[in-house]
Amino acid sequence: MYKLTQFKDAVAFNDKVHSLLMEDEAANNLPLGLLNTMKTSDKYKDPLLLLVEEESGLAVGSFIMTPPHYLVSTLKVEKDEIKEIVLLLKVFFDDFHLTIPGFVAEKETALQLTRAWSHVTGAGSRIRMNQRVYQLNKVNDVPVSEGKMVPVYSGQESLLANWISEFVADTEVVSMSGDEALNRAKDMIDNEAYVFFWEVDGQPVSMARGARRTDNGITVNFVYTPKEYRKKGYATSVVAELSRFLLKDHAFCSLYTDLDNPTSNKIYMEIGYRPVCDSMMISIV
């Protein structure tokens, strides 16, 4: 038998799930990184934090949702026990009149959650993205293109906002307005330490960002190159240099990729990233 408990305090919730998530730190970089952000800022408004426990009080899973994004799900239970947890989840969501836009989880967990949810609710589903989580401990000696990595600075908000909008349109489930992208760009420049462009002759041609710290690692994301600058090695260059820079202060870097994009997966593996696990984003429709 399992029980599902909601937490309002991210620190108290983290105390309960931290050791469970740290069993696979790189694989769980998303929930760990989200919780670290919640503990130190109010970036996420009204996050949903749900703890899954055995009757003994042993934590065996967590659900984290930062609306309107998907339910980030971590479970360490047998496959045939996921149905029981989904029944608890349905009761909770019904009681609070909430909806689940979709699941993000390790591949098999995501599939089992979706099947059980569809069974008890009759809802349909659609695979939004096949993903792979990678970990890097040392950057390989890869060729670097012309140009250099430079921090994004004040005055480049409009360019950064345009690239954020294009990146989100390519990769994210939730759309972003122009004003939201501009606010996001300003926040990155003002409050984040690891947002970089790759520049050639003073012209930004690619970007990458380090974010979502865990105890020992940090995630590389927002890797984006506009179409007119692609196939020139700029993404490889900025990711390699950023990863090398981040490893000065972190034991490893992690990142998510779209498995249906063989080019990016090839680039990351050439840099030195190694697969940790497969993940899925599945929409509930």
Q: Is 12 a residue whose pLDDT tops 90?
A: yes
Q: Domain map of the chain by residue range?
A: 2-123, 136-277
Which runs of consecutive H residues, i.e. helices, occur in 106-214? 107-121, 157-171, 178-191
User: To the nearest whole number, what is the mean pLDDT of the chain?
Assistant: 96
Measured N-to-C along each axis, helices 10-22 and 29-40 cross at an angle, to the nearest 10 degrees, of 150
Q: Is 45 a residue whose pLDDT tops 90?
A: no
Mean pLDDT of 34-58: 94
Cα separation, 157 vs 172, whole angstroms? 20
CATH topology agreement for domains 2-123 and 136-277: yes
Which runs of consecutive H residues, i.e. helices, occur in the chain? 10-22, 29-40, 82-95, 107-121, 157-171, 178-191, 234-246, 262-271
Split at pLDDT 50, 70, 90, the class of 173 is low
Q: What is the fold, at CATH topology level, of the domain defined by 136-277?
A: Aminopeptidase (3.40.630)
Contact between residue 62 and residue 41 where contact means Cβ atoms under 8 Å apart: no
Domain range 2-123, its CATH number among 3.40.630, 3.40.50, 3.90.1150, 3.40.30: 3.40.630
Q: Would residue 134 be called left, alpha or beta, if left means φ above 0 and alpha means ψ between -120 and 50 degrees? A: beta
Half-sphere exposure of 41 (CA within 13 A, CB side): 10
- 210 burial type by CB count under 10 A (0-12 exposed, 13-18 middle, 19+ buried): buried
pLDDT tens string 254-272? 999 999 999 999 999 999 9
pLDDT tens string 182-225? 999 999 999 898 999 999 999 999 999 999 999 999 999 999 99
* DSSP-derived pairing of the beta strands 203-211 and 195-200: antiparallel
Q: Is 175 a residue whose pLDDT tops 80?
A: no
- State yes or no: cis peptide before 262, omega within 30 of 0: no
pLDDT tens string 146-161? 999 999 999 999 999 9
pLDDT tens string 91-100? 999 999 999 9
Residues pairing with 69 in the sheet: none
